[in-house]
Amino acid sequence: MTTAVSVPALAYSQELDKPLLVLSVKDAQDPALEAKLDRYLNLEFREPDAAATLLQDIISSLHSNTPIESYVRAQTYLVLAKLFSRDSAAQAEATQLLDELLTLTHSPLTANALVEIQALKLQTLLSQSKLNEAYLQAEAVNELLADASNPRVLYWAHGMLGNLARTDGQFEQALQHYSSAMDALLHLNDERLLLRRSSLNWQTALVYTELKNWSQARPLLEGLIEEVKKHGQDDYLGDLYLALGYVLSMQKDYQAAGKINQQGHDLARARNQQSLALTFINNQASILIEQQRYAEAKAMLEAALLEAEELNEPNTYQIMRLNLGYIRVMQGDTAAGLAQMEAAYAYYEEFGVKSELDGHLEWLAKAYRAAGDYLQLADTLQKQMALREELFSENREKRINDLQSRYDMKSQAQRITILQQQNELQEELIRNKQLQQQITLLFIILMGLAAIMLVQLYRKVRRSNLRLREMNKQLEYQSLRDPLTGLFNRRAMQEKMAKRHQETQPARCALLLLDIDFFKHINDHYGHAAGDAVLIEISKRLQTLCLESELLIRWGGEEFLIVLQRPEQADIDQLCATLLHKVSELPVLFEGKEIPVTISGGFINLPFAQVPEHQFNWERVLQVADMALYLSKVNGRNQINLVTGLLAPFSEAEPHLQSDLSGAIRENMIELHTIAG
């Protein structure tokens, strides 16, 4: 039941867009109808047929004198019922009903009713995955929220705004909306209070899990499981057990994680959810592998593997084969284990989700390291780096495209507004012309007013154009800059090299490729926020060492590229030594923790060894620097390998320079020296 408040609710006319009168909550709501609507919500999941009958009865009882907030609430539930049905005709009817609500004029609209209608439109856009339109709608909802007073409406609106922000990866904003929704629940005291609180806690736990904030996610999930058990909402238990088991594993609380996975497995078996049960078995075996209890994990997975094959669960079957292959490697059956892991990975590379391949490659790398196959280990690590760069680029492109789409939609809305104003002005001029013969003086006055409006409109259009040009400049700047560090990005490098290619005699320069050591460990141990802090701090330290004529680029992930303009090798050697010292001399401070950081690198001149750039261009030269960087990593990190020249004809050395720098070193084909930190 909605709690009454003493603050009156403003009523609005959509025609005039300004307050008309003040309605109290008592005038805007029908208590008996509100009680029926509360009962409908309680029946909706437990007895859907009874709920549908009740809703139809409620809709039939509505009339033109029904208090506006109760009327809007009932119509909102009808739209949602049709929207989430599987009947396409009902879904089309839901869209029509929503349009009617958006143009409601039969009664003054209170702020609460306005928010509920606009929030319903936001919910509709979210359900249709129209995220760009949903963001524009979210702005409208946010503008109205300050005047709303109904706790139920505030809870619902903030919850959806939080879901939208979480979907777009804006986790801080999502948490703020969930917190506001929880504040609204303090003013509610009905049968759905516990369910609403549980729903908010679940959404908040998902945010903390995405942020890898295990210490915050764990108590929320544990509390949710207790509430779900207490109130008999067992349908949600399976997902909650999976989420909590994952969080506990990330905290390395393997005993607690094993217990939760066992409870989830038993629940799935009791409900004949065999696929879910296999997922818990695999997770349980993964915990045993982490504890190096290989024999127990093997026995568990081999038994489950047969069941996965019988159930035709290819994804579960292949992840179990990957885990079993790793166990075989660790138990000494190296060749067969690696072959099994490679076959499983090939399946995921063809059919799996690209974002999940990184974890599979990590286990493959561990297996190659344990087997002593360092050539395959290097290949796997390079593949993993390429995958991360690809995922990073795709995510960046998606965000840029989304921003551009939202900007275009806003721009289009502004153009429509201007056209509407121009049409209204034209109509006014036509009416004035019809009265010209009768009231000449009035016509002159009106023309003067019209001229003023045109000047104002011109100024507004001019301001809009100035803002547009400014935004275009900002977009151009952002397209060449990394949003986290503010450094130049790959596109800036490509543009610089394109200009260089057009020069008749490009100046000599050099490429220094750098990579932060053990960066994944920093992310895993301290969290991604700490990783971002490290990237920002290292960027600042590198900037202090660069000349104004030199280009410092965030090349991707934890990699940086410096285009040097220093002709003397001695100066470059001194820079490398200073750089290694500057990065490692002080740990990065984050939330009171000291994070030690070192960096490794690879260096090469451009052009290389007087080889014309059309024959050995900058991309191929950079590949050599990347292999030199890899040698720095393999040989202990915190060092820079510098490739400074050729000791053999380029035609002989070129095959090695394409993919095998170590071979070129063994054949004594290149000049290389190392500067250690």
pLDDT digits (tens, 9 = 90+) for 135-166: 888 888 888 888 888 988 998 899 889 888 88
Contact (CB, 8 A) for 141 and 118: yes
The pLDDT tens digits of the residues spanning 297-317 come to 898 998 888 888 888 888 888
Q: How many other β-carbons are positioned within 10 Å of the β-carbon of residue 398?
A: 10
Among 32-36, 236-240, 525-529, where is mean pLDDT lowest? 236-240
Report the share of the chain in percent with pLDDT over 70: 83
What is the pLDDT, as a whole number, of residue 395? 57
| Owner of token pair 């002593």 | 372
What is the pLDDT, as a whole number, of residue 16? 33
Three-class secondary structure of residue 394 per DSSP: helix
State the average pLDDT over residues 26-51.
83
Which distant-in-sequence residues (6+ apart) come within 8 Å of 73 by Cβ?
34, 37, 116
State the average pLDDT over residues 463-469.
67
State the average pLDDT over residues 462-490.
75
What type of residue is 85? S
Per DSSP bridges, beta strands 599-606 and 639-646 are: parallel
- Answer yes or no: is pLDDT of 415 > 80: no
User: pLDDT-derived band of residue 536, with 50, 70 and 90 as boundaries?
Assistant: very high
Cα 336 to the chain's mean position, in Å? 39
Three-class secondary structure of residue 643 per DSSP: strand
Three-class secondary structure of residue 190 per DSSP: coil
Residue 645 bridge partners (DSSP): 671
Which distant-in-sequence residues (6+ apart) come within 8 Å of 285 by Cβ?
297, 300, 301, 304, 320, 323
What is the pLDDT, as a whole number, of residue 140? 83
What is the pLDDT, as a whole number, of residue 164? 85
Asked if omega into 607 is within 30° of 0 (cis), the reply is yes
User: pLDDT-derived band of residue 106, with 50, 70 and 90 as boundaries?
Assistant: low
For residues 484 and 214, give the distance between their C-alpha atoms in angstroms, rounded to a whole number.
24
Q: Which two tokens stand for residue 524?
A: 């895993």
For residues 561 and 490, give the distance between their C-alpha atoms in angstroms, rounded to a whole number.
9
Among the listed residues 73, 93, 72, 98, the one whose alpha carbon sits nearest the alpha carbon of residue 82: 93
For residues 281 and 300, give the distance between their C-alpha atoms in angstroms, rounded to a whole number.
7
User: pLDDT-derived band of residue 2, with 50, 70 and 90 as boundaries?
Assistant: very low
H or E element that contains 509: strand 509-516
Q: Sign of the C-alpha dihedral, residues 323, 327, 330, 333?
A: negative
What is the pLDDT, as a whole number, of residue 6? 31
For residues 167 and 304, give the distance between their C-alpha atoms in angstroms, rounded to a whole number.
34
Contact (CB, 8 A) for 670 and 647: yes
DSSP alpha helix (H) spans, 311-333: 314-330
| Owner of token pair 């609106």 | 157
Which DSSP category does 104 fall into? -
User: pLDDT-derived band of residue 544, with 50, 70 and 90 as boundaries?
Assistant: very high
CA distances, 202 to each of 239, 246, 247, 258, 575 (Å) = 10, 15, 14, 21, 51
Residue 588 bridge partners (DSSP): 595
Most confident by average pLDDT, 184-198, 241-255, 376-390, 623-637? 623-637
Which distant-in-sequence residues (6+ apart) come within 8 Å of 143 by Cβ?
none
State the average pLDDT over residues 651-675.
92
State the average pLDDT over residues 103-127.
83
- Answer yes or no: is pLDDT of 19 > 80: no
- By the 10 Å C-beta count (0-12 exposed, 13-18 middle, 19+ buried), 42 is classed as middle
DSSP of 106-150, one letter per residue?
SSPEEHHHHHHHHHHHHHHHHHTT-HHHHHHHHHHHHHHHTT---
The pLDDT tens digits of the residues spanning 554-604 come to 998 999 999 999 999 999 999 999 999 999 999 999 999 999 999 999 999
- Answer yes or no: is pLDDT of 479 > 90: no
